[in-house]
Homo-oligomer: A and B are copies of this chain.
Amino acid sequence: MGREQRVAILGATGAVGAELLTLLEERSFPLASLKLLASPRSAGTYLTFKGERIPVEPVSETAFRGVDWVLASAGATVSKTWAKAVVEAGAVMVDNSSAFRMDPEVPLVVPEVNPQDALRHQGIIANPNCTTILMCVVIYPLHKRIPIRRVVAATYQSASGAGARAMQELRDQSRAYLEGKPLEPRVFPYPIAFNLFPHNSPLQENGYCQEEMKMVNESRKIMGSPNLRLTATCVRVPLMRAHAEALNLEFEQPFPVEQARQILAEAPGVVLLEDWQQNRFPMPIDVSGKDDVAVGRIRQDISEPKALELWLCGDQIRKGAALNAIQIVELLSVPQPVTA
């Protein structure tokens, strides 16, 4: 292990904040110190880490002094507000928000895909969108073998992507539904229990929502393929914390299914989960709380000789957010490969 790191979590009281704490503990991350930061509204409480109660302090100009890493997951506005102070304090911000992802000066990193990009940071490294991370971990190893020409994606996204309050809303509405009571949307614009709807992020001029355009733009940057053709339909479904994606991948050349399966079976951060006899493929409950993205149903597209169909599930809070951020820190501070 490398030298111990001084870490601050900005947005410690949120869903991703909680997962960061879990992971730092689980992975025996070499911590010199741990600081928990949140907005003045959320500060003042305590969180437990390795059996110890740690106070949640209000974020301030001076909060980043003596810190090596700031893991930020309190939204784009908060990240933009404090980025300068973090860098001036000599710390590196690994930012889970969308604030800096498309900034050409800021690396956007999935450690299994473009670890080399992390090295050229200037104090900020962006953690990609959750749906994009899960997709890139799976499609990049295939893309390296035979370049992808076009992706048609449809997603099945859990409530956790909208935070802890959205997860509670799904729980509350589900209970109300079963009791025959009306569902009252507060976090999501429409009922989520026993329902689903196109992703609620703002719509762009071109008819795509922000979530879909993140998949397009971020995957191009992460995979170093500025011309990658990708279209997506993102959908919120009544799941707690894992996303699923149906991906149609068209390659420059036909891609033998067995070769794709072999590549994915060996790909870092990916687990192949296929039992064709039992019709058993990745499900959200398989990956909840797990690090790897599960992939299966890899099959030749019967409508297009150069295309494959596949299906993946990944934990949105873990690999889709908190784990990826910690892997970035490990990549730059722990002198051994991040992935097996």
Contact = CB atoms under 8 A, between A and B. Distances in A.
A304 B250 CA distance: 12
Interface in A189-248: 189-191, 194-198, 200, 202-203, 206-209, 216, 229-231, 233, 235, 237-240, 244, 246, 248
Given A299-B207, A302-B206, A281 B198 contact: yes
Contacts of A229: 303-304
A65 B235 CA distance: 50
A276 B231 contact: no
Contacts of A170: 194
Nearest to A201: B279
Interface residues of A, number: 59
Interface stretch (A29-37, A94-102, A129-137, A148-156): A148-156
Interface string A142-171: 000000001110101000000000000011
Nearest to A209: B279
A235 B154 CA distance: 11
Given A152-B152, A178-B175, A216-B302, A231 B309 contact: yes
A197 B235 contact: no
Contact of A196 (B150, B190, B244, B303): B244
Interface string A285-313: 10000000000011111111001010100
Chain B CB within 10 A, most for which of A194, A279, A285, A298: A194
Contact of A150 (B197, B203, B231, B304): B304
A314 interface: no
A40 to B, nearest CB: 31
A336 to B, nearest CB: 36
Contacts of A297: 198, 207, 233
Interface string A241-270: 000101010000000010000000000000
Contact of A231 (B177, B280, B307): B307
A236 to B, nearest CB: 10
A239 B278 CA distance: 23
A219 to B, nearest CB: 12
A283 interface: yes
A174 interface: yes
B235 A156 contact: yes
Contacts of A198: 279, 281, 297, 311
A17 interface: no
Given A196-B284, A203-B276, A303-B150, A311 B171 contact: no
Contacts of A174: 174, 177-178, 194
28 contacts: A152-B152, A154-B154, A154-B246, A174-B174, A174-B177, A174-B178, A189-B279, A190-B280, A190-B283, A191-B285, A194-B238, A194-B239, A195-B284, A195-B285, A197-B281, A197-B283, A207-B299, A207-B309, A209-B279, A229-B303, A229-B304, A231-B303, A231-B309, A233-B246, A233-B297, A233-B311, A235-B246, A238-B238
Interface of A: 150-152, 154, 156, 170-171, 174-175, 177-178, 189-191, 194-198, 200, 202-203, 206-209, 216, 229-231, 233, 235, 237-240, 244, 246, 248, 257, 276, 278-281, 283-285, 297-304, 307, 309, 311
